[in-house]
Structure 1
């Protein structure tokens, strides 16, 4: 979340990572605080602009990574002259439009903003301007996936994330909770509607169901890449979920 940090610090931090792991580092930049206002204030000191200067911060950060920054009084070392791919992250149309204007790759948070997915992707693709970075649009989409050997087990492990989102809308955030057999009794009908609306793009099921739903999501978004989010409480169940995803996508 770029507004939480000084662009020079980010340039040097990711420059360090790129120096340690050449060709393996991407830099994703978001405009939102990524937390509550108290945490944002502790990081930023001033939250009044609400990310309005994000384009200026982005330009400043990119200038520090530019090879010509060696002529500047302020320089990012390491970072200067390094080829670190920059993605703009978004859950609305703002970063979609800015990515298109600058010719940068765009990553959309479908995993918690499913209703805005297609409008944001259309805005990005329809307004894309070729650049030195890309000659055509390049899209990544986030998606929640809860895979298990049975549908029932997949539905069960997904309740941990449902509880987490429930706590967020109640303004009582906390650690990921153990799964439960049913969410009934834990939420009201109103809360259930809100949570399910935010998470309705989640993929939950057995291997066959996950394969079909992933293909359907790919067909719908025409994404170049997907980033899988699996907030699963049990480590073995999380690893099994990723194994299933790898199996059904041919990555294993």
Structure 2
């Protein structure tokens, strides 16, 4: 089993975007030394607390600051882009950093309808996502001299493509195309069990993959004491509640009493959305992750965690790396 990191390049309260990007580079360098397999970044737009909107640009920046770790998108919201554009961007990245670039694809807008219009995204009811995925994968394949459109750079790079999702749609599509599948259980776990079942049951071997490959996403808030880990988690709880209230902002500082900040009704909904989490000391995190692995049998675990203080975030992922090494040894 492999263990990886999903990063949103969070912009903490009291800091600027440049600090967030520098923090992500620092975390990626540490992650490489700690033995993580991948470092993924996600496309979100018009959110002051997230600095990964220009995802391919940031991927190139982080790949250039590291040596071995795979770097990729978790993911690119493909309906926001022409498939050829993404093929050229990731083909360029794969040419500069051979065998290190991944491309996860989602179909959500990564923002509201105003953002979608600003991105020139079509707002009609048709769903061209499956065709766009096929077109994009075709650009990465073997050179076709007779093709009307070719990706330069891009063709022949065979960039690994993943389907991302939080519903049965992504599971069905990944199974149909024979592609690896990553489920967004770190914030939308409701359909997790059914989606994994559908993906594994309906998977069709393809030139890309001969058997299902499933990645599970989980939040981690690890610290040297349980109380500190619980306090670190309040940052993500508060950020998620504010997003649901329509008040997104920079990544909040942790608080001592989360109920006093968001109220029990929002707290219940937030905690349900974030229930795929491991929180506490190394021993507690190991128990939580081991239980997730035992239940869902993922081929890979990708960890995330929105923590305000960069030093505390580093420490959380360091503890998680130690836990993952123990889990790998046990497996």
TM-score grouping bracket, smaller chain normalisation: over 0.9
1:124 corresponds to: 199
1:209 corresponds to: 284
1:4 corresponds to: 80
Unaligned runs of 5+ in 2: 1-76
- Give the CA deviation at 1:44: 3.0
User: Match for 2:268 among 193, 218, 221?
Assistant: 193
Q: Are 1:218 and 2:293 an aligned pair? A: yes
1:30 corresponds to: 106
User: Match for 2:319 among 218, 232, 244?
Assistant: 244
Give deviations 1:56-91, integer Å, cap 9, x for gaps: 111111121121433212111000111211000001
Name the TM-score, length of structure 1 as normaliser: 0.96
1:14 corresponds to: 90
User: Match for 1:165 among 229, 232, 240?
Assistant: 240
Deviates more, 1:230-239 or 1:190-199: 190-199
Give deviations 1:222-247, integer Å, cap 9, x for gaps: 00001111110000000000110111
- Give the CA deviation at 1:17: 0.4
- Give the CA deviation at 1:190: 1.5
Whether the 8 Å CA contact 1:148–1:207 is kept in 2: the answer is: yes
Name the TM-score, length of structure 2 as normaliser: 0.74
- Give the CA deviation at 1:49: 3.1
Specify the SS of the correspondent of 1:140: strand
User: Match for 2:189 among 114, 120, 125?
Assistant: 114
* Distance (Å, rounded) in 2 between the aligned partners of 1:249 and 1:188: 34
Specify the SS of the correspondent of 2:164: strand
Give deviations 1:189-234, integer Å, cap 9, x for gaps: 2211111110111111111000110111111110000111111000
Structure 1 segments, 4+ long, off by >3 Å, are: none
* Distance (Å, rounded) in 1 between the aligned partners of 2:259 and 2:97: 47
Specify the SS of the correspondent of 2:242: helix
* Distance (Å, rounded) in 2 between the aligned partners of 1:131 and 1:46: 30
Instruction: Give matches, 1:49-64, under 5 Å.
Output: 49=125, 52-64=127-139
- Root-mean-square deviation over aligned CA pairs: 1.4
Q: How many residues are matched? A: 251
User: Match for 1:183 among 247, 254, 258?
Assistant: 258
Instruction: Give matches, 1:36-185, under 5 Å.
Output: 36-49=112-125, 52-185=127-260
- Give the CA deviation at 1:123: 0.6
* Distance (Å, rounded) in 1 between the aligned partners of 2:125 and 2:109: 11
